[in-house]
Amino acid sequence: MPQQAGPGRRRRGRLSRELVLATALALVDREGLSALSMRRLAAELGVEAMALYRYAAGKDGLLDGLVEAFFAELLDALGPLGPAGADPDADGRAELHRTALGIHRLSLRHPQVVPLLATRMLAVPLSRRPRAVLRAHERVLVLLARSGVAEDRAPLAYRAVTAWVLGYVLVELTAVVDTPDEPEPAIRFGLHRMPADELPRLRAAAPALAQRARGGVAPDGIEELADAVAAHPAPYRRRRRLRRPH
């Protein structure tokens, strides 16, 4: 008598890349990146591990897929960009901040994926990144243009804004609490491990560093970055070549 498939079993023909990545993301959210493997993911999906290689070429493919799933969820939450309004500059700044808030919210929802937003970008060339990632890059460049950033300054502005948002999220998600179940603050934050005479400000800031920012990333940072980049029409090296010799 053939064995009946359990509720977690799926036929290979019903698999899809979206299902594979969604299951991988759920697994990582629940148990961390160390739990992710082709064998473990296959068990979650109720298929043989070899069935997954059609959708991801090994562990690195799954890691890239997690980044793809993150940005696909971001784009879905933000929705498509509409035409620029009567005040393109204000429209661009507001939407740029909304995009940053979207990244912040998703990062809190999927904290285990956040390190991959940096490490996989170091490993995967621009043109080989998933389409959802490229569309997110394009969105930021479009919004920078609407914010008044000149085309020749866009690469610098893109790097600055991206680094600011991801850096903000990485710092906020940095582990601060030493003993989560301990109610006594000094022990909870491990202050006894930090010399008071050497690290007084860090000890004092530890409880606040453990708190999530209310409302997410502050819009002031993006405003200041866009203003700073737009205020200088030429890169430093170009200005340097134009200087007359003494």
Q: Cβ(180)–Cβ(210) under 8 Å?
A: no
Residue 109 pLDDT greater than 90, yes or no: yes
87 or 1: which leads in pLDDT: 87
- Name residues whose C-beta falls within 8 Å of residue 245's C-beta, 6 or more positions apart in sequence: none
Q: Classify domain 65-231 at the CATH class level.
A: mainly alpha
Return the pLDDT at 125.
Answer: 94
Q: What are phi and psi of 101, to 5 degrees?
A: -65, -40
pLDDT tens digit sequence for 42-65: 999 999 999 999 999 999 999 999
Residue 241 pLDDT greater than 60, yes or no: no
Q: Cβ(110)–Cβ(58) under 8 Å?
A: no
Q: What are phi and psi of 3, to 5 degrees?
A: -75, 130
Q: Where are the domains of the chain?
A: 8-56, 65-231
Closest CA relative to residue 82, chosen from 26, 21, 38, 143: 143
Is 171 strand, coil or helix? helix
Return the pLDDT at 147.
Answer: 85
CATH of domain 8-56: 1.10.10
DSSP string, 180-206: TT--SHHHHTTGGGS-TTT-HHHHHHH
Residue 140 pLDDT greater than 70, yes or no: yes
pLDDT tens digit sequence for 15-34: 999 999 999 999 999 999 99
What gap in Å lies between CA 161 and CA 76, rounded to an integer?
21
Of 94-98, 189-193, 224-228, the poorest mean pLDDT is in: 224-228
The mean of the pLDDT values for the chain is 84
101 or 73: which leads in pLDDT: 73
Q: How many CA atoms lie within 13 A of 144 on its CB side?
A: 28
pLDDT tens digit sequence for 143-154: 999 888 889 888
Here the tokens at position 232 are 């200088």
Query: Which pLDDT band, with edges at 50, 70 and 90, does 76 fall under?
Result: very high
What gap in Å lies between CA 109 and CA 111, rounded to an integer?
6
